[in-house]
Amino acid sequence: MVRWLLAGSLALGMCAGQARAGEEPPVAVQSEVTAAGAAQVASAQGSSGQEPKQQDTQQKQEPKQQDTQQKQEPKGEEKGEEKKEAEAPAAPPPTGPWHYQATADFYWENNFNDPFTGRNALRAFDIIDDHAPQFNYAGITVFHDRKPFGFRIDAGFGESTELFNATEPLTGTARDAFQLIQQVFASANLDKKGLTYVDVGKWYTPVGLEVFVARDDWNYSRSLLYNFAEPFYHLGARLYKYKNATDYWMVNVNRGWNNVGTRPLTDNIGGGVSYGKQASKKLNVVVNTMVSDEPDFVGIGHTRYLADLVLNYVASPKWTFAMNGDYWHQNDFLLAPTGPEVGANVGGVAGYARRTLNKKDAFTLRAEFLDDAEGAAGTGAAQTVWETTLTFEHRLNKYSIAKLEYRHDSSGVPIFSTDDPAAPSHGQDTLGAALILSY
């Protein structure tokens, strides 16, 4: 019942979204904006009547949205007076056609289950529980403005790049090379204003709210939706058509979920349509749909239908709210070689509330559920999983942020490891800390 209610709500969201949302500003520079960041930029634009300034860092989506433009926090009180409107995020003027960025992050996790596996279950990247600091990722971004041709490359190494490419069908040297290259694409403006452009290559998925690079997410640990209900990347071509800085259409053709190489028993083809609009000064809406041929647990491909809805609401200079909903369906899904075939349904909703305390400090609360009704998402069982995360962040200086995070996961199925291999738990609690560097 939960999955059908979810599917219905997403369908309604898509109908309403045919007049809403926001994403990468229509400029020649190949910068990328998260959904939350785009909402704040658009809110600032609506309140001031001026064009938003160019943001300078981000990544997973080109509206997720894509990983490499830093989320800008609206300013709050200054000298005892609260500003009435959110300000456009400050950024230095472009210095030329070439742009460079760098980031790295480290984490420490304590799992109170003390799992015998030494691993945190259901995590995307912060998987290690051995009571010692862990290196997660270090990477650089180089991009050239579309004037009219440009390119972008995001390259890096670390534990997260191995997990990010865990299902990549490439082997050998080619797999090693693409594991180090999270994004690489060529770009071309198709009009003089930069409102229409095309990218060709490997790019982060436009689906969802959270992104690959840690500096661009509110929480440090990634959501269940990010890990199990959404793709990570695509190889293909995409065409963006902007009406203004926030409203756009995007169409794409690709090789499906997380594929650069060829999967032998699938068609290796997919495509999608995205729509974004600033519905009001405060509300930003993004809708993503995708259809592709995806393998089941035996490796046989069948058509998968995905719908994704992202809402961002900037309530005030101090409060921002977001919601991400995902649902995908796939017929004739084999969970094992001996069958039976099932109609796989995976969906969930994540809600976010972010409170900015001052220029350096903020709290973010995330609560979500993921319904893996048949076990097709890879959570380890047919189950519904719930998760709540509270994150405190403190900006140490312009190049570094520290985060402290408490997270609770639970399920009706005992899937979480404990110190006793014969006694798994229905829940998992972790306390973590992270240091994120960026330039």
The verdict on residue 396 lying in a domain is yes
If one compares 299 and 339, the residue with the highest pLDDT of the two is: 299
Predicted confidence (pLDDT) at residue 317 exceeds the cutoff of 50 = yes
The predicted pLDDT at position 96 comes to: 66
Q: What is the predicted pLDDT for the residue at 3?
A: 44
Its pTM stands at 0.81
**pLDDT score for 95:** 54
**Which residue has better confidence, 277 or 56?**
277
Q: What is the pLDDT of residues 201-216, one digit of tens each?
A: 999 999 999 999 999 9
73 pLDDT exceeds 90? no
Structure confidence by residue, pLDDT tens digits, 395-425:
999 999 999 999 999 999 999 999 999 999 9
Kindly state whether residue 366 falls inside one of the protein's structural domains. Answer: yes
Domain assignment of residue 316, yes or no: yes
Q: How many domains does the chain have?
A: 1
Residue 106's CB is within 10 A of a number of other CB atoms, namely 17
Per-residue b or e along 49-80, where b marks 16 or more CB atoms closer than 10 Å to that residue's CB: eeebbbbbbbbbbbbbbbbbbbbbbbbbeeee
Q: What is the DSSP letter of 229?
A: I
pLDDT of residue 192: 85
**Confidence category of residue 15, pLDDT binned at 50, 70, 90:** very low
User: Tell me: the pLDDT tens digits for 124-176?
Assistant: 999 999 888 999 999 999 999 998 999 999 999 999 999 999 999 999 999 99
Average pLDDT of span 62-75? 43
Least confident of 1-5, 132-136, 183-187, 209-213: 1-5
Region 286-299: mean pLDDT is 97
Residue 87 resides in a domain: no
Give the list of residues 6+ apart from residue 299 with CB closer than 8 angstroms, or none. 263, 264, 265, 266
In a domain, 352, yes or no: yes
68-72, 280-284, 285-289, 351-355: segment of lowest average pLDDT: 68-72
Provide the pLDDT for residue 339: 81
- Residue 173, C-beta contacts closer than 8 angstroms, at least 6 positions apart: none
What range defines the domain where residue 181 resides? 2-73+92-438
Residue 78 lies in a domain: no
Asked whether residue 68 is assigned to any structural domain, the reply reads: yes
Instruction: Decide if 150 is inside a domain.
Output: yes
Q: Phi-psi category of 246—alpha, beta or left, where left has phi over 0 and alpha has psi -120 to 50?
A: alpha
CA 283 vs CA 42, 161, 351: distances in Å: 9, 33, 15
Looking at residue 296, the DSSP 8-state letter turns out to be -
Distances (CA, A) of 254 to 24, 64, 199, 266, 385: 20, 17, 12, 13, 30
Q: What is the CATH number of the domain that holds 113?
A: 2.40.160.10
